[in-house]
Amino acid sequence: MECSLKANRLSCNCTYEPCERKGKCCECLSYHLRMEELPACAFSSDVEKTYDRSFSRFVQSFQNTNGKKY
């Protein structure tokens, strides 16, 4: 499967402007996993803007209205 940089960049919600991995999903995912975090696309735009891409923030962002965690 070929990577479509143009299409990937259109759907990328990363707000970190100097990022050299935008549109290069494989590189982005590998980088963030090495940093023990997830890439911007795993978060809503509101959460992504905080730059807290930790696993714990990912779980927190998916709490339902009853306060239960998935």
Q: What is the pLDDT of residue 66?
A: 47
Does residue 63 register a pLDDT over 90? no
- Measured in whole angstroms, the distance separating CA 25 from the mean position of its chain's CA atoms is 10
pLDDT, tens only, 16-52 = 999 999 999 999 999 999 999 999 999 999 999 999 9
pTM of the entire structure? Answer: 0.79
Does residue 6 register a pLDDT over 70? yes
Closest of 50, 68, 47, 69 to residue 59, by C-alpha: 69
CB 63 within 8 A of CB 69: yes
* Mean pLDDT confidence for 40-68: 84
**What are the residue ranges spanned by the domains of the chain?**
5-60
- Residue 54 bridge partners (DSSP): 37
